[in-house]
Amino acid sequence: MDDTVVVALFRHGLTEENKRKAYLGWNDSPLCSESKKIWTNNRYDRYFSSDLSRCINTANILFPTNDLYLLSHLREMNFGKWEGKTYEDLKEVPLYQRWLSDPISYSPPEGESFAEFTRRVSIGWEKITEDIFSHNIQRCAIITHGGVIRYLLSEFAPQHRDFWSWQVPHHHGYELVFTKEALGRRERCTLLREVPLTAKELG
């Protein structure tokens, strides 16, 4: 329908750092071998991606023939000095424990606060919506990170759920279906549907 816009959100594939449950924000990590075999039938008019290589590589696997529009605004939260560290590495650090109990009020050393993170992602969303309207795009995909997708779902899913209640597994995506009016007014979408990714058949 001409009066609707589909915005798909895909999380990057599982990385080696994800496997060991390390904090991975602005640092990067190679995709695991299983992430190089993911596949989807879905195709879009425009593809936006975080500028970190794990997202770029995932986008090239899922949508290999399409140009990417890279936005640093779509990066994961910057975990600062906690990048690459695990819960076991940090569990005795008092600031880390305070952050776990109240991640809105506290932030990682030399990293981003939750407010800084969400403000940055919001700017990226505005850039994407401006592009959608200026080029009359009906279907676009965003390849990004778990935290970014959680925030966008908390803002735009049909029913309100807070940031922390969303589960965003690797090799999974969501499509948000907006009316053009709702998208332009930064209102919630009318329909949310899951987009599972499947493993490519060998042979």
Q: How far is CA 75 from the centre of its chain?
A: 8
pLDDT recorded at residue 198: 83
Q: Is the pLDDT of residue 186 over 80?
A: yes
Residues 123-134 have a mean pLDDT of 98
Task: Work out whether strand 139-144 and strand 198-199 pair parallel, antiparallel, or are unpaired.
Answer: unpaired
Task: Work out whether strand 172-179 and strand 191-196 pair parallel, antiparallel, or are unpaired.
Answer: antiparallel
The one-letter amino acid code at 58 reads T
Q: At what angle are helices 114-134 and 146-156 packed, to 10 degrees? A: 70
Q: Is the pLDDT of residue 202 over 70?
A: no
Q: Residue 1 — very low, low, confident or very high, per pLDDT cuts 50/70/90? A: low
Q: DSSP label at 72?
A: G
Residue ranges covered by each domain of the chain: 4-78+120-199
The one-letter amino acid code at 125 reads W
**169's tokens:** 């597994």
Residues 35-42 have a mean pLDDT of 88
pLDDT recorded at residue 116: 98
Q: State how far the Cα of 46 lies from the Cα of 140, in Å rounded to an integer.
A: 5
Could you tell me what percent of the chain has a pLDDT over 70? 98
Q: Residue 203 — very low, low, confident or very high, per pLDDT cuts 50/70/90? A: very low
- pLDDT tens figures, 60-93: 999 987 789 999 999 999 999 999 999 999 999 9
Q: Residue 201 — very low, low, confident or very high, per pLDDT cuts 50/70/90? A: low
Q: Is the pLDDT of residue 193 over 90?
A: yes
Q: State how far the Cα of 97 lies from the Cα of 137, in Å rounded to an integer.
A: 44
The CATH number fitting domain 4-78+120-199, selected from 3.40.50.1240, 3.40.50.11900, 3.40.50.300, 3.40.1360.10: 3.40.50.1240
